[in-house]
Chain A
Amino acid sequence: MEAISVVITNLPFLLLGAWDTLKLTFFSVLIGLVLGTFIGMGRLSKIKVINIPSTVYVEFLRGTPLLVQISIVYFGLPQLGIQLQAYPAAIVALGLNSGAYIAEIVRAGIQSIPKGQYEAARSLGLTHWQAMRYIILPQAFKNILPALGNEFITLTKDSSLASVIGVTELMRRGQFVITRTFQTFSIYFGIALIYFVMTFTISRIVRYVEKRMAVA
């Protein structure tokens, strides 16, 4: 019984961490979305100076561990004179990382739209950017919503890696409680449950939005 009461008494402390996890994820997703949209389009560009860097970016960030990327941003950059606090460093690293994954999702989404849509837009005199903005991307985003939802969930879980650089998100706060109470199983399990509640909620929200957009 002590195991359960430890979780309950420390719940407010842990929930503050969960709130930080959510904020961390939210800002990272925001960066990832903007970055991913442009890089995803860049991956499809016929212009080499746009296409090649986009491809290199995606391959490199997908091909290296997130833990290493976080370490580079937080521990490595200061040696180059760029000093970031733990929290912004985590947002930058997570955002850059998810940008690579979202870029691939966006690329697939754009490719899922029939070529005739782009041609019809251009034949009416729209520029490449206007065709993307008004015709291709709105349809693409509708198609990739499930994949984006997946990415949000992955990012929520991966944000726990920010604990290694001292961001006091959920995981880090759990470890604090454990050093005080030595209740490893119940605290880690309690944390797992809180993560699950967050990811499950996100997946429900995404599904709701998906349904609403299917109607429109």
Chain B
Amino acid sequence: MNKILEVKNLHKSFGRLEVLKGINLEIFQGETIVIIGPSGGGKSTFLRCINHLEDYQSGEIIFLGKKIDKHTSNLNEIRTKIGMVFQHFNLFPHMSVLENLILAPTKVKKISKEEAVQKAKVILERVGLIEKINAYPDNLSGGQKQRVAIARALMMEPVLMLFDEPTSALDPELVGEVLEVMKDLAKSGMTMIVVTHEMGFAKEVADRIIFIDKGVVAEEGSPEEIMKNPKNERTKSFLRHIL
């Protein structure tokens, strides 16, 4: 199998506070990895290091065989291959759904507007929002916003998708529609890293679950192993609290 991402001994501090204390991870093509763990444990920071929204102090991040760090010269090109979905959607409110989708393909990848629009329609169809193509983000529900955000990331044809608590800001009744889209994506073979508390989702689509606590990978295993027989005391107590 093709190795998409390798993280070796990653350390990251904010000032004197060390948030990541040596994270190791490998992810292969088509895998879906779910990261769980208490808040403040470094899950989001870890994701943000992968596409270098955050710099890190030591260790290595290797994406498709190339190191990602502050010296990486073609960072923008690499970022087009790593889609990211945020907890608070971060849609561009001054642009319509269509404009949100075609901005990066036309400005970064320089594909023609016609081609981008065609593609946007296909992807909006896929996330079930073709009728909202001309709507503005303010007029969408939280679930619809997040599906547009996923569509926007897919427009760049990423090799890897990062989801940073994509359903945490949603009303409970809107969580399902977003998870459905993510499940479809996982089943279509997309390589994904998902930070979430949705254990049902993890159980259904995760190839591996990683429990990050206090800046380290405290436990790693299949959903079965982690949910039925957690070895680590911290994993046990965490799962007791969220299930």
Interface, chain A (partner B; CB < 8 A): 114, 116-117, 119-127, 130, 134-135, 138-139, 142, 216
Tally the A-B contacts, defined by beta carbons under 8 Å: 60
Q: Would you give 8 A-B contacts (Cβ < 8 Å), ordered by A? A: A116-B88, A117-B90, A119-B90, A123-B79, A123-B82, A124-B153, A124-B156, A135-B92
Interface, chain B (partner A; CB < 8 A): 51, 53, 76-77, 79-80, 82-84, 86, 88, 90-94, 103-104, 107-109, 149, 152-153, 156
In chain A, what residue has the closest Cβ to B107? Answer: A130
Contact residues in A for B92 (Cβ distance below 8 Å): 117, 120-121, 135, 139
Pick the residue among A123, A125, A127, A216 that contacts B53 (CB under 8 A): A123
A125 near B80 (CB under 8 angstroms)? yes
A125 near B86 (CB under 8 angstroms)? no
B79 near A125 (CB under 8 angstroms)? yes
| Bound form: Cα–Cα A119–B94 in Å | 16
Contact residues in B for A119 (Cβ distance below 8 Å): 53, 86, 90
Nearest-Cβ distance from residue A204 to partner chain B, whole angstroms: 24
- With A124-B156, A130-B108 already in contact, the answer to whether A142 and B94 are too (CB < 8 A) is yes
| Bound form: Cα–Cα A123–B170 in Å | 22
- With A119-B53, A134-B103 already in contact, the answer to whether A124 and B90 are too (CB < 8 A) is no
Nearest-Cβ distance from residue A57 to partner chain B, whole angstroms: 29
B76 near A123 (CB under 8 angstroms)? no
| Bound form: Cα–Cα A119–B86 in Å | 9
Pick the residue among A116, A124, A135 that contacts B152 (CB under 8 A): A124
Contact residues in B for A124 (Cβ distance below 8 Å): 79-80, 103-104, 108, 152-153, 156
Contact residues in A for B152 (Cβ distance below 8 Å): 124
| Bound form: Cα–Cα A16–B103 in Å | 47
| Bound form: Cα–Cα A60–B77 in Å | 41
Nearest-Cβ distance from residue A124 to partner chain B, whole angstroms: 4
Contact residues in B for A126 (Cβ distance below 8 Å): 76, 103-104, 107-108
Nearest-Cβ distance from residue B197 to partner chain A, whole angstroms: 20
- With A130-B107, A130-B108, A134-B103 already in contact, the answer to whether A125 and B77 are too (CB < 8 A) is yes
B86 near A120 (CB under 8 angstroms)? yes
| Bound form: Cα–Cα A130–B82 in Å | 18
In chain A, what residue has the closest Cβ to B78? Answer: A125
| Bound form: Cα–Cα A122–B108 in Å | 11
In chain B, what residue has the closest Cβ to A124? Answer: B104
In chain A, what residue has the closest Cβ to B51? Answer: A123
- With A126-B107, A130-B107, A134-B103 already in contact, the answer to whether A120 and B80 are too (CB < 8 A) is no
| Bound form: Cα–Cα A168–B153 in Å | 58
| Bound form: Cα–Cα A121–B76 in Å | 10
Nearest-Cβ distance from residue A189 to partner chain B, whole angstroms: 45
Nearest-Cβ distance from residue B105 to partner chain A, whole angstroms: 9
Closest 3 CB pairs of A and B: A120-B90, A125-B80, A124-B104
Nearest-Cβ distance from residue B120 to partner chain A, whole angstroms: 14
Contact residues in B for A116 (Cβ distance below 8 Å): 86, 88, 90
B93 near A139 (CB under 8 angstroms)? yes
| Known contacts A120-B90, A121-B92, A124-B103; 7 further A-B pairs (Cβ under 8 A) | A122-B53, A123-B153, A124-B79, A125-B80, A130-B107, A135-B92, A142-B94
| Bound form: Cα–Cα A138–B95 in Å | 10
A139 near B94 (CB under 8 angstroms)? yes
